[in-house]
Structure 1
Amino acid sequence: MELKLKEKLLKLLKEDEEFRYAVAGLIGLGEILKRLDSHEAELVKLREDMMEGFRRHDEISNKHSAELVKLREDMMEGFRRHDEISNKHSAELVKLREDMMEGFRRHDEISNKHSAELVKLREDMMEGFRRH
């Protein structure tokens, strides 16, 4: 008998729309469908929020990319100025060395004159001692 009842119930569910809705209402299918609709709406909202988050992220990423380009340009300009100053310093160091070497050459020339004068002075002094 149980089997016949099951078969009858299944047949009614398949063929009788009113019976099917009555059973669906009794087992809470309407509530389940409402919840599914609510969940679907929440999923749509979550997707919209996620897309807005991605849009904000892309905006921030684009700002960061632009800032990185500007930082690189600023860095390269800083290196260009540094190279310019370094080249000036290098040229000044070369001039400083040349001036130093010229100063030593003049010093050596003067020292050699002084040495020669000292030799002459000694000779004159010795000559004077020999005469007296």
Structure 2
Amino acid sequence: MARKELTEKQFMVQRFSKTALRALHILGITGAGGGILLHVPQEQWLLYWIMAMSTGSAMMLWEIVRDWRWLIQLKGVLTLVKLGLLGLFIPFAAYKPELLIAIVLLSVVVSHGPAGLRHFSIVHGRRIGGRKEVKG
């Protein structure tokens, strides 16, 4: 069954929602990242951490629901790698700053890399298209 095109109002609501979610995510990353890099006590940046993790999870869910192929494109795969690096915060707590820097650098590649890289499928070995994205 083919999906119908979004109305202009639906498009604007989705775009604003995604932009707002991304803005909150960046705010959370900035607060938590500053706390980690500057060795601030965790209780002072924990709310930012929770904000970053919850908005990041929501954005990931948004992408998977929109198009499951996100999971096999480099933008999805690298996001899962970032989650793996986050998981290393526990066994390698002394290396949190270095892990955070690696996560931020991967984020730049995922967000600002060329489309041919972001849409490259690790399963197909080539760029694959997906459903039309709502930028934000």
Query: Whose relative contact order is higher, 1 or 2, with alpha carbons under 8 Å and at least 6 apart?
Result: 2
- TM-score of the pair, normalised by structure 1: 0.25
- TM-score of the pair, normalised by structure 2: 0.24
Greater fraction of residues in helix: 1
